[in-house]
Amino acid sequence: MKAAIYCRTMEDNQKEDVQLFFDELAKQKIEPVIFHLFFEQIKNVVRLPDTSTVFSVSEDITDEVEFIVSLGGDGTLLDTVTLVRDKNIVILGINFGRLGFLASIGREEVKTAVKAIAKRTFVVDKRTLIHLDADLPLFGDVPYALNEFSLHKRDTAAMIKIHTYLNGEFLNTYWADGLIMATPTGSTGYSLSCGGPIIFPDSGSFVITPVAPHNLNMRSIIVPDDHIISFEVESRSENVICSLDSRREIVAKNVSLAVRKESFTINLLRLSENSFLQTLHNKLTWGLDRRN
């Protein structure tokens, strides 16, 4: 069995956890295929299995790789999604970061997680992606996002007007700093911080959330994920910011943009005893009344 390993960087206080992770891989006879930049960083400070190999780009991940492990926070896992693409590989996120909504498996669960891979005692959640269509090439070979698509004004520009349509029918014009189009997975991210609702991952919906809207009656709206949502932008600036998760591009304000559900899904691994409700309890401290 082979598992690809992706990590942006290893902090000094993570060395013991990383060593434990690779020791457990060797114990379970799982061959690691390590992202080349991470390999160069750790090869002299971490004992790696003799079967270790490296990869550099998505095309290097062959059909022999059954899993890809993200060591880091949610941002690291979002990078991993761009490597997996439509390969149908299961993603395991081990949280070396802070909040960890996506990379929800803690450092203390490393052994349990690796054993779950080896014995296949896990649950796979299929997560919807959002796909961006535009009248010019944007975001190369990965015009999709796990969390959200967003439009935003430039740093010093005045607020922008975003005319929004559902399947060609006018929905609303948002006077705002920006607009977020989030998947259920992304509903606990940027959209939530802007007042959007939390949506269960299997709800079959998208949520549209304005960023600092001019009109206070502008609220988030949940729409079916089989709709095509298109946008026209008005701005005093010549350009606006277009983002997919943590990736962004500066585009002309007259660009034509539309988003829809991607044709494939991403497989996120969770330990069988974990659930979305438990993640909400753990990460948002729901159900914990500190007054008691």
Active site amino acids: 74
The whole-angstrom separation of Cα 24 and Cα 111 is: 6
197 neighbors 222 (Cβ within 8 angstroms): yes
Burial 46-72 (b: 16+ CB within 10 A, else e): bebeeebebbeeeeebeeebebbbbbb
42 neighbors 10 (Cβ within 8 angstroms): yes
